[in-house]
Structure 1
């Protein structure tokens, strides 16, 4: 039975994704942590502040397309070339506009901070090259995660080598800001080459395909923006209400507690196509697979969060050093956020299959408003730990509470609760 399990395409797909992320994590342990130590809380916080702008606009420039690509490839295999080509054009236009807007905004509100403007501009370059992520979803739909895993790992190794050189030469924070863009540049080149090698169809732009994709993805744009506000408003507010160092402490806590989340991402990405297929043929199996996914995500997260809570102080001291000791408090709070956050990520498969995308905006608008409000309350008194409390409360509301008040998606919350009590997963 075990031998048969490892021959299963979905399991092998997840295995390759996890392998790649584990390799990245190992490299990150030696390079990323050394970089954080070298930069110190303030400069590390500055890069995370700049990255927050990029992440926010990423939700806009992706146009929600990523959320529907796998289903598009499965439903319309004969149009693969048009789907990819059209997606690339749409994302390229929005990415150029977004990068320009970021630079303009930062130049206005941080007019006296030239370093901040330069760092933010360099980080925003990643938007322009992130468009090639589209090829990743094509490989996912083919259960060929081995290809994207190797490509991602190669790109990460190149970027890590770049950072090591910077550490040796003692370069300034601006050089490190370019690292994220370099990662996407390398990955994009490799994915394009692999797409050609694996016989991908000729890329072409189609107005009809573009229109179809946008009609399906448009419902993900506003929710994506709201998620970004919820996910990055705390960094903006910490920087402007307190200091860049507080952003550094908070970013360190979130980095540690999400360091292992590649496992959850790999599981969700690999199960996603099988849920799509089950929806077409068997509703009972479809709901069962959703419950199984939710149960795995939730309980694996709880186990890891407990360990972080117990050994948080030791972990911060070993990985980042005494300078980041103020990260322990927010780490012990924000780690519990993971379980609910990734339940929300796992929910996307159900949302797409049931064609309930239009309701996402209501969930995330309420969450973004709640998060900003809670940050105003908690940050002045508790600093980075207060931001962590605000994020945790908001995520619970986003995942379990708000959906119960929306009739058409209430069923998904029921599936989550059934999964938590192990009902209907066998």
Structure 2
């Protein structure tokens, strides 16, 4: 791909269409992969039982403690550098990824060796855990290499290869697991299934990334140190975040017994499969979020509010229906020997739902260059989590670990949300949340009524009721959905409005001509606080939008074409909610925030290279289908 083609891709990648396409690609692959993962979990748990499965889980969780160092947050810095409109000269993503590959090649083998040695020391009295841990440690080296390619796909919004790699890795893992079950293989051989996903991702991503541009590893000491220095706060956040997500399992393996670890591991695997939606969504919106914060704070606020609404739309039924169906689901996917893990699964469904919201808040704070605050917040919540685990695990076992996780998730979300409100014009969508309670209650009642019949039937019926009630009475009604579609296109006629605000965010106000003479002023967009912005006609906006979509992204030129001068910009940046004269437009009447998807999502935990950003998205799905790279994007 030549430079101009790359720029066009990067410039248009912030549109809602590109985001929706990226989400759809990853979701398609992830849904298929999740089905394979569920089958893998079912086969593994039924074959191994709680105790052996607990030992496998202990080995996986210990290795994933080191996963934060496989990417070190460099991918997030690359995305931010390439999409930062404040830079006079923005580097190319390919050049930075080449340097990142050099860093990854240097770090991969030492990281694997450190994980092996430390694991042997910790579990020296559990030889079976040590054997599996040594095998699984190989995945660290593979993950270090394949995550280095992720910024290319994130910046260019090309997630087809990411989705394919994730899907094939899970399917191949299922195939290997079936072979192990049929062959009645010893327990330690199940650890080899953990190597398949990162190996498949490395091969597919390397081939796909190479087609997008030159990606020969570069060993440049000064450039490498610059990236590592800038990524240090994110790396610390990642270390804390991965500890946060895995320390409970490790503490369970030390303070309790393998059976409790098995219950927790299975519940964790099931509950956090639901996080694929938030992972994919956040991975697909990272570059847009960072770009909007730099260029247009009001648009940033509208866009992030839309992200929160989408996450609430998915998180609420996960918490409600998941808690109701926890018992039937855990026995369906394993056996009656795991039935005591039902309360743990109910707690982890609630924790998973809260991670959707935590991820959204953390990504917005990352876009606002507030990663230092995220570091402090994660350090505090990790400390609280460890203290609660040490107190509760000896008393309640896996249930105690679940309670500790929910408690710290709530604390983290509340604090992050308060900080975000102070840093940007993002407000909580309270009316949306209140209206969402009605369809959620309906779904919960239906799930409860049918949970004794068949959990799959109950789940499908609850989903149908939830979506149906939303369409009928809201908040996600046909009108709500149409508002997003309208925001993506210019009005039907030259005089019609071109910007559709999200429901409840404001309204379009016509301005009458002064003294009845001449045509009136252009209509204004009036947010809830009553401040208005000029609403341009179709032709003018279409012309300016075409600049953004067909040429390299130059936000400065785009602002000037709209009449956004430096004086107004400086005033606006000092106080995003200050009254702006009606004749002064925002940096684009077609606000990206108003185009947000109605139910969007990178993939990744490792769905995409951007999982990191969202602070609470877990690093891998489950002990029998580890996707190490998936964890990275949730915690910057």
TM-score (ref. length: structure 1): 0.91
For 2:149 and 2:90, the matched residues in 1 are separated by 14
Deviation digits for residues 68-114 of structure 1 (CA, Å, limit 9, x no counterpart): 23223435775333311222232343332332222222222322322
Quote the offset at 1:196 in angstroms: 2.1
Change in CA separation of 1:414 and 1:401 when aligned onto 2, cut-off 3 Å: farther
Decide which moves more: 387-396 or 224-233: 224-233
Change in CA separation of 1:173 and 1:66 when aligned onto 2, cut-off 3 Å: farther
For 1:376 and 1:413, the matched residues in 2 are separated by 37
CA contact (8 A) 2:78 2:93 kept: no
Which residue of 38, 44, 58 maps to 1:49? Answer: 58
Aligned twin of 2:200: 186
> Is the aligned partner of 1:8 residue 2:17?
yes
For 1:215 and 1:24, the matched residues in 2 are separated by 36
Quote the offset at 1:411 in angstroms: 2.5
For 1:414 and 1:322, the matched residues in 2 are separated by 50
> Is the aligned partner of 1:314 residue 2:328?
yes
Aligned twin of 1:3: none
Quote the offset at 1:294 in angstroms: 1.8
Which residue of 393, 397, 403 maps to 1:379? Answer: 393
CA contact (8 A) 1:350 1:412 kept: no
Q: Indicate the SS of the match to 2:428.
A: helix
Which residue of 144, 154, 171 maps to 1:140? Answer: 154
Aligned twin of 2:115: 102
Aligned twin of 2:42: 33
Change in CA separation of 1:7 and 1:225 when aligned onto 2, cut-off 3 Å: closer
Quote the offset at 1:305 in angstroms: 1.5
Deviation digits for residues 335-368 of structure 1 (CA, Å, limit 9, x no counterpart): 1112322323223432332222222221011111
Aligned twin of 1:275: 289
> Is the aligned partner of 1:199 residue 2:209?
no
Is the helix fraction higher in 1 or 2? 1
Quote the offset at 1:331 in angstroms: 1.2
Change in CA separation of 1:412 and 1:260 when aligned onto 2, cut-off 3 Å: farther
For 1:96 and 1:346, the matched residues in 2 are separated by 34
Deviation digits for residues 16-70 of structure 1 (CA, Å, limit 9, x no counterpart): 1111110001112222321121121112111211111222111134222233232
Which residue of 229, 233, 243 maps to 1:215? Answer: 229
Change in CA separation of 1:161 and 1:225 when aligned onto 2, cut-off 3 Å: same
Q: Indicate the SS of the match to 2:180.
A: helix
Which residue of 414, 418, 421 maps to 2:428? Answer: 418
Change in CA separation of 1:149 and 1:290 when aligned onto 2, cut-off 3 Å: same
Alignment of 1:224-303 (within 5 A): 224-303=238-317
CA contact (8 A) 2:81 2:91 kept: no
Decide which moves more: 224-233 or 339-348: 339-348
CA contact (8 A) 2:55 2:128 kept: no
CA contact (8 A) 1:82 1:209 kept: no
For 1:246 and 1:295, the matched residues in 2 are separated by 36
For 1:410 and 1:390, the matched residues in 2 are separated by 26
Quote the offset at 1:169 in angstroms: 1.0
Alignment of 1:339-378 (within 5 A): 339-378=353-392
Quote the offset at 1:149 in angstroms: 1.1
Quote the offset at 1:273 in angstroms: 2.0
Quote the offset at 1:375 in angstroms: 1.0
Decide which moves more: 63-72 or 12-21: 63-72
Decide which moves more: 49-58 or 71-80: 71-80
Quote the offset at 1:388 in angstroms: 0.3
Deviation digits for residues 232-265 of structure 1 (CA, Å, limit 9, x no counterpart): 2211221122101101101111111112221111
For 2:363 and 2:128, the matched residues in 1 are separated by 41
Q: Indicate the SS of the match to 1:261.
A: helix
Aligned twin of 1:115: 128
For 1:347 and 1:214, the matched residues in 2 are separated by 24
CA contact (8 A) 1:62 1:94 kept: no
For 2:16 and 2:272, the matched residues in 1 are separated by 29
For 2:37 and 2:80, the matched residues in 1 are separated by 32
- Paired positions, count: 417
Which ranges of structure 1 fall in alignment gaps of 5 or more residues? Answer: 1-5
Aligned twin of 1:58: 67
Change in CA separation of 1:77 and 1:36 when aligned onto 2, cut-off 3 Å: farther
For 2:105 and 2:430, the matched residues in 1 are separated by 41
CA contact (8 A) 1:86 1:207 kept: no
Decide which moves more: 307-316 or 153-162: 153-162
Quote the offset at 1:292 in angstroms: 1.2
Give RMSD over aligned pairs: 2.3
Aligned twin of 1:332: 346
For 2:307 and 2:106, the matched residues in 1 are separated by 35
Change in CA separation of 1:343 and 1:235 when aligned onto 2, cut-off 3 Å: same
For 2:430 and 2:226, the matched residues in 1 are separated by 36
> Is the aligned partner of 1:88 residue 2:101?
yes
